[in-house]
Structure 1
Amino acid sequence: MRNGIVKRYFFTCVSVVLVSIVVLGAVFLGLSAQYFKDERQDQLLIIAQRAAERTSSGLTTSDGNSYLLDFDTLRQGYRLLISTQEDADLFMTDVNGAAVLCTEGTRCAHTTYRVPADVLEKSSQASVAKGYRGMGTLGEIYKRPHYIVSVPITGDDGYIIGYVFAASPADELSQFLVDVLRMFAIAAVVVLAISFAVIYYTTKRLVSPLKEMAGYAARFGQGDFSQTVPVTSDDEVGQLAMALNNMSSSLAVVEQTRRNFVANVSHELKTPMTTIGGFVDGILDGTIPPERQNHYLGLVSNEVKRLSRLVSGMLNVSKIEAGEMTLNTVPFNICEVIFTALLSFEQQIEQKSIEIEGLDVDKVMVEGDRDLVHQVIYNLVDNAVKFVNEGGVISFGFETVGGYTFTAVRNSGEGIPKEQLQQVFDRFYKTDRSRGLDKKGVGLGLYIAKTIVNRHGGDIVVSSKEGEYTEFRFSLPAAKPLRAKRAAKGEGRREGQPADALAEAEGQQAPDPGDGDRKI
């Protein structure tokens, strides 16, 4: 982790800071150079404008075609103007570019060379207010680059009679930029040092909780869910910690479920296999006499059937949990399915003198997978037959509310303790009482029934009153023709309207799945 994220993040941030400083330095130096140049030329322009004003005010006409100047007076004025600018010079040329006056005296380079014609042309086109600005050597006048500023001199008639040039060496710019660069470099070093320290500290702080989470994730992968990741913030890192804790909780539940499943399967398999092994060994070694062998072979046969039911139930559970259960939805009469299921228990019903009630209706149409719904009803009837009292009653009830048909299966008997009602749909769950009465069950029937009903978009609930009854009540979508008929009458449930609201609109009380005193 340290050699990965920390290094990459640190060097990425450092690279960004370095590039930013380089770009900022280049822009800063460029602007500084331009500012220095403009400032220098502005100063020279002011001097050249004042020199041109003095020159124009000192013009005298001799014959109408020429002007006279007092060069000594002008030279002193020029020198006074340029005295504030170190290494700068000021000179005047005629219209042809020949120097006629210079602050350096008679021995200067300005009198030897002429100003280039292109510079004169640009100077003649410039106004007195803006003047001509340039940088160069003015042909052969200067050996080094100079800042050049010129202003035209006009006579009384408005014609240009000459030019005033002010020049200053450009070497000062290099020294100025060196000084600026030195100050910028010092500031950049300080900023870089602070940035490096902050970036390194921030990176370590960001990565430290990730390393800690990696350690917790490794323990989770090994099956240790006893600890939780500390959540120290509300940012993305804190959200990741909470996600890991949620994952740990989910994995702990899954692991506990898996262990319970293995333990339950082992227990359910061990009991019949022990019984089968004991009886077979008894027959083989002669412990069981020949006249009793058929009896015990019958017991062995029952245990084998129990193992078959267990394996079949486990396969069904596996298909359900793997999402391999597909629905073949068709409208059908659920009463016919109930009658078919009851025929499978005809012998047990007669042996216990059980009375069947509530099946005097002709047709109750629902939509669903007929075979899967048959399994639901078969499991519920099987449960009712097992726990109904001798000479008791198994009754059925039907009610359609809000597009769903509710089917109730109630049996009289001792009922289920209140504290165990929420567990009857768990896999392999069997109450202590049912372990005594239900010798053949494996505790998967109600779990499978609930899963199938939920897969149809319905729900199943149980209610019981000890010493009186137990009732399972599940819902399935009503058949479409029935829903269409109810909608035509204005009785259908509107989208988003709960069953309670619909019942209230119809002026009746909504059915309560947990109301044990409701008569079917």
Structure 2
Amino acid sequence: MQRSLFRKYFSVCCSIVLMSIVVLGIIFMVFAAQYFREDKLGALEKNAEYAAELTQNHIVSVNGTYQIVDYNSSLTSSWVPMAKAMNADIYLANLSGDVLLCTHRSNCSHKVYGIDKEIIQQVEENGIYTEVGKMGEIYKSSYYTVGVPMYLTDGRVAGVVFASSSAQGLTDFMSEIFKMFLLSALVMMVVTFALVYIVTGNLVRPLQEMVKATESFAKGDFTVRVPVNERDEIGKLSMAFNNMATSLAQQETVRRSFIANVSHELKTPMTSIAGFIDGILDGTIPPEKERHYLSIVSDEVKRLSRLVRSMLNIAKIEAGEMKLKPTVFDVNEVVLSSIFTFEQTIDAKHLEIKGLDAGKIMVEADEDLIHQVVYNLLENAVKFVNEGGYIEVSYTVDPKRTYINIKNSGEGIPKDEISKVFDRFYKTDRSRSIDKTGVGLGLHIVRSIVNLHQGEVIVRSVEGEYCEFSFSVATAPKALSKQAKPISAREV
């Protein structure tokens, strides 16, 4: 986790920050260059216009022709301060492109090369000319140049005043701007990367703790929990992880208990079987008693068979492999056939059976599985009913569900044990002394099968009086029994 997710997230965030700074720098430099260019051209334009205004005062008419006079003295001297302030050249050209005046006194390239007539025409047509270049062959490097017209009193253009300044200033300006931006960006990257490192660590830490917890789970330690410090998605994930850990711990406890109970239940009959068979083989058991002990071995084998069959059924139900085959049948007929199975025990205990005259009770369910439910509940009732007591079967039917109630007199189930009777291998203290052959899976199978039918099973008991189990299945369509009265929600 530390080497993959943390580094991946940290590197991605840092890459995004770095790319953002680079893009921001490019945009900033472009805007800075644009601002510098517009500012420089704007300043040159203002100075060129002011120079044009000054020049208009020196235009005179000679024989009907306008001429610029006195340009070598006062006119030029008034341009020079502006040119020095702007570090620029100011020069005047006539409409033919000839340079008449220039603040660049020595070796003036403007007068040597002149101005391209196309430039003069653009000034006449557009009222201004701007360029970042070499003005033809005048300059050897790039210059900012602005040209404005000089008008006569009648509105005609008499000439063009140009102001040019070296573009080298942009390079110097951008260099300084870049240095400042680079220094600021470095400081921001250090601070941002540190914050991203801390935030990434805080985000990944719960996941790292989950990894450590899963490693503990793999070793069988389910006590580790992940701290929940936030209410965000990570916090919800941590809570879900802790809930899963609790569930795993409970399942591990159940698994160990299941293995211990199965081992115990298998060990007891197998020990008896081995002991009796060894006694018969080595002659310890006399021949006249061999049949007696072989019958005990047979009972133990049957007990093992019931245990294995019950565990297989539970495994199929829990794995979702047991599929229902619902049919419409008379559940009362199933109850009657199951009661006949215990006829000898019923006669031996002198029991009274009540409620067998209910008539047809039609339900829709898997008949074989419901038969197993009824058999298990009746077997449980026959085992724990008091001698000379009773077993009562009753039905309550409503349009959707039919409730089958099996009640027996006797000691009942203590209140503190009622919630546990459906657990696997659970047997009450009293049942352990009475039931020597049961393994504590019958009621668990009952609940599993009833739940598979989307029903419910309920136990009611009063100590010293009775115990009653009630389970529900779907009522058969259009088969609401006339013999049964609807059950109230309170009774259920």
TM-score (norm 2): 0.93
Moved more, 89-98 or 427-436: 427-436
Q: 1:68 to 1:37 in 2, by over 3 A?
A: closer
**Partner-residue secondary structure (3-state), 1:220:** helix
Partner letter of residue 69 of structure 1? Answer: V
Moved more, 242-251 or 450-459: 242-251
**CA-CA distance at 1:101 after TM superposition:** 1.7
Distance 2:257 2:106 in 1: 115
CA contact (8 A) 1:62 1:68 kept: no
Moved more, 252-261 or 384-393: 384-393
1:234-253 matches, cutoff 5 A: 234-253=231-250
Alignment-derived partner of residue 38 in structure 2: 38
1:103-252 matches, cutoff 5 A: 103-105=103-105, 108-127=108-127, 131-252=128-249
Distance 1:48 1:325 in 2: 99
Distance 2:153 2:391 in 1: 131
Distance 1:347 1:105 in 2: 139
CA contact (8 A) 2:358 2:394 kept: no
1:392 partnered with 2:389 = yes
1:260 partnered with 2:257 = yes
Partner letter of residue 76 of structure 1? Answer: S
CA contact (8 A) 1:424 1:430 kept: yes
**Partner-residue secondary structure (3-state), 1:481:** coil
**CA-CA distance at 1:409 after TM superposition:** 0.4
Per-residue CA distance 1:20-73 (angstroms, 9 max, x = gap): 222222221221111111111111101111222233344333333434533233
Alignment-derived partner of residue 55 in structure 2: 55
**Partner-residue secondary structure (3-state), 1:443:** coil
Residue 417 of structure 2: which of 404, 411, 420 is its match? 420
1:282 partnered with 2:279 = yes
1:512 partnered with 2:488 = no
CA contact (8 A) 1:425 1:450 kept: yes
Per-residue CA distance 1:148-198 (angstroms, 9 max, x = gap): 101112223322221111111111111111111121122122222222333
1:345 partnered with 2:342 = yes
Alignment-derived partner of residue 329 in structure 1: 326
Residue 411 of structure 1: which of 408, 411, 416 is its match? 408
Distance 1:106 1:314 in 2: 114
Alignment-derived partner of residue 91 in structure 2: 91
Q: 1:123 to 1:280 in 2, by over 3 A?
A: same
CA contact (8 A) 1:217 1:244 kept: no
Alignment-derived partner of residue 77 in structure 1: 78
CA contact (8 A) 2:150 2:161 kept: yes
Distance 1:435 1:3 in 2: 57
Partner letter of residue 512 of structure 1? Answer: E
Distance 2:467 2:336 in 1: 20
Alignment-derived partner of residue 499 in structure 1: none
Per-residue CA distance 1:245-292 (angstroms, 9 max, x = gap): 222211111111111111111111122122222222222233332222
Alignment-derived partner of residue 102 in structure 2: 102
1:463 partnered with 2:464 = no
**CA-CA distance at 1:107 after TM superposition:** 5.3
Distance 1:458 1:436 in 2: 32
Q: 1:236 to 1:269 in 2, by over 3 A?
A: same
Partner letter of residue 280 of structure 2? Answer: I
1:306 partnered with 2:306 = no
Distance 2:399 2:67 in 1: 115
Runs of 4+ in 1 over 4 A off after TM superposition: none
**CA-CA distance at 1:402 after TM superposition:** 5.7
Per-residue CA distance 1:56-95 (angstroms, 9 max, x = gap): 3443333334345332333233234434212x11111111
Distance 2:468 2:380 in 1: 10
**CA-CA distance at 1:440 after TM superposition:** 2.3
Alignment-derived partner of residue 496 in structure 1: none
Distance 1:109 1:41 in 2: 21
Partner letter of residue 184 of structure 1? Answer: F
CA contact (8 A) 2:354 2:391 kept: yes
Residue 445 of structure 2: which of 428, 445, 448 is its match? 448
Residue 271 of structure 1: which of 268, 271, 278 is its match? 268
Distance 1:228 1:108 in 2: 87
Partner letter of residue 407 of structure 2? Answer: R
Distance 2:489 2:17 in 1: 69
CA contact (8 A) 1:126 1:151 kept: no
Q: 1:54 to 1:31 in 2, by over 3 A?
A: same
Partner letter of residue 361 of structure 1? Answer: A
Distance 2:210 2:61 in 1: 97
Moved more, 67-76 or 419-428: 67-76
**CA-CA distance at 1:305 after TM superposition:** 1.1
Residue 295 of structure 1: which of 286, 289, 292 is its match? 292
**Partner-residue secondary structure (3-state), 2:404:** strand
- Structure 1: state its 5+ residue gaps: 487-502, 514-520
Partner letter of residue 405 of structure 1? Answer: T
CA contact (8 A) 2:408 2:468 kept: yes
Distance 1:262 1:235 in 2: 40
